[in-house]
């Protein structure tokens, strides 16, 4: 193992601990959090408590308020003015071929798994878990490689990637409010960036649902497009705040009624194969280089956010 990979693993460990602390704070130390999540995810708190002092020092470069507010970040005034507009979805670009994704990681839930299997991308690595939420990235040992089990973040640290696609949010729709989701998503972006500092991070907006098909099939009444749209705004906000690329998949698939077309999915959630191919075509025509995003290199990337607000991580979900 070379020094580079050791450093990357160390960063992964620290950020993993940071993510866990985000969750722990929500389980008992954050009375000013939005209060929207349950506190059932505290079962593994002792396993990570030893890392808390390391995390505190590692994140000292960020403005870590102890007020219990949702999150803080390094002052943006010290950053060069970005030339790429992070508040907008990725603009259309010249198409790339599938081999462009050879050093990409596709990180997400079962929707990402469907994309990887049915789009025909044929390149890159799939790091996904059915039902996984952004709240659980640093906890759930969901990736099996040989005899070993890894969290998704640990698995992400095993190779070097230049593109990382994040797709989370459907399984989180069962939790009221969106502030915890935002906080956890931002923490996930920072963790991924620490593990893969050379990668362009793409965050994928949520593909709409078909509520009628859901009612007829999987019958999960918490899967509503109204909340999905709110979560999409928070994902877009996170992308703008953390200077990563936002992919507007919602508008790629939504119909005139604000839904996923009924024939696009057998359960109202997961796309059929032709939808996955459409998803890939979009990704192939919405790419951005690292140099375009960060012309002055790593100095133009915001420092990691520290957060003491709640996360939540009960099991369940739809993707």
Partner 1 sequence: MRLLHRGNPVSFLLTALALTLALSACGGGGGGDSSGDAGSYDTSLAQAVSDAGAFSEQLDPLDADTGFYLFHLADAGIQREELADCAILCSSGGTCEQVAVLQFQWAEGKAEERQAQVMEALQSYIDGQIEANVNYRPDEIPKLENALIQQKGDSFLLIVASDLEAAKGAIQ
Q: Interface residues with partner 1 (CB under 8 A)?
A: 110-111, 113-114, 117-118, 120, 122, 129-131, 144, 146, 217-218, 265-267, 269-273, 276, 315-317, 319
Distance CA 287, CA 194 (A): 21
How deeply is 39 buried, as exposed, middle or buried, from its count of CB atoms within 10 A (0-12, 13-18, 19+)?
Answer: middle
In the complex, the smallest distance separating the C-beta of residue 206 from partner 1, rounded to whole angstroms, is 15
In the complex, the smallest distance separating the C-beta of residue 292 from partner 1, rounded to whole angstroms, is 32
In the complex, the smallest distance separating the C-beta of residue 41 from partner 1, rounded to whole angstroms, is 14
In the complex, the smallest distance separating the C-beta of residue 318 from partner 1, rounded to whole angstroms, is 8
CB nearer to partner 1: pick between 255 and 315: 315
Distance CA 224, CA 276 (A): 21
CB nearer to partner 1: pick between 101 and 246: 101
Find where tokens 């604000």 sit: 258
In the complex, the smallest distance separating the C-beta of residue 142 from partner 1, rounded to whole angstroms, is 8
In the complex, the smallest distance separating the C-beta of residue 165 from partner 1, rounded to whole angstroms, is 17
CB nearer to partner 1: pick between 220 and 286: 220
CB nearer to partner 1: pick between 121 and 164: 121
Backbone angles phi, psi at 228, to 5 degrees: -60, -40
Query: Do the Cβ atoms of 143 and 25 come closer than 8 Å?
Result: no
Q: What three-state secondary structure class fits 145?
A: strand
CB nearer to partner 1: pick between 69 and 117: 117
Q: What angle do CA 106, 202, 87 make, to 5 degrees?
A: 160
Sign of the four-CA dihedral 83, 73, 112, 275: negative
Q: How many alpha carbons fall within 13 Å on the CB side of residue 161?
A: 29
Report the DSSP pairing between strands 163-167 and 104-108: parallel
CB nearer to partner 1: pick between 6 and 273: 273
């Amino acid at each position: 193992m070379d020094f580079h990979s050791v450093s990357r693993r160390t960063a992964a460990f620290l950020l993993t601990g940071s993510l866990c602390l985000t969750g722990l704070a929500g389980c008992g130390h954050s009375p000013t959090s939005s209060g929207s999540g349950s506190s059932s995810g505290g079962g593994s708190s002792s396993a990570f408590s030893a890392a808390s002092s390391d995390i505190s020092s590692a994140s000292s470069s960020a403005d870590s308020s102890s007020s219990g507010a949702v999150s803080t970040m390094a002052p943006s005034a010290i950053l060069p003015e970005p030339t790429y507009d992070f508040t907008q979805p990725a603009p259309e670009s010249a198409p790339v071929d599938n081999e462009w994704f050879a050093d990409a990681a596709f990180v997400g839930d079962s929707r990402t798994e469907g994309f990887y299997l049915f789009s025909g991308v044929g390149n890159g690595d799939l790091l996904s878990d059915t039902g996984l939420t952004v709240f659980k990235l640093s906890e759930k040992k969901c990736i099996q490689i040989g005899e070993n089990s890894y969290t998704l973040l640990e698995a992400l640290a095993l190779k070097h990637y230049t593109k990382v696609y994040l797709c989370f949010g459907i399984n989180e729709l069962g939790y009221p409010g969106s502030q915890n989701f935002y906080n956890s998503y931002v923490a996930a972006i920072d963790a991924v960036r620490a593990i893969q500092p050379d990668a362009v991070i793409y965050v994928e907006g949520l593909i709409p649902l078909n509520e009628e098909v859901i009612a007829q099939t999987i019958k999960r009444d918490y899967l509503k497009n109204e909340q999905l749209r709110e979560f999409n705004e928070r994902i877009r906000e996170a992308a703008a705040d953390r200077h990563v690329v936002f992919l507007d998949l919602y508008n790629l698939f939504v119909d005139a009624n604000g839904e996923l077309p009924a024939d696009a999915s057998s359960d109202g959630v997961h796309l059929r194969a032709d939808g996955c191919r459409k998803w890939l075509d979009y990704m192939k025509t919405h790419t951005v280089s690292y140099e375009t995003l960060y012309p002055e290199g790593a100095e133009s990337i915001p420092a990691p956010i520290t957060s003491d607000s709640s996360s939540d991580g009960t099991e369940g979900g739809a993707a």
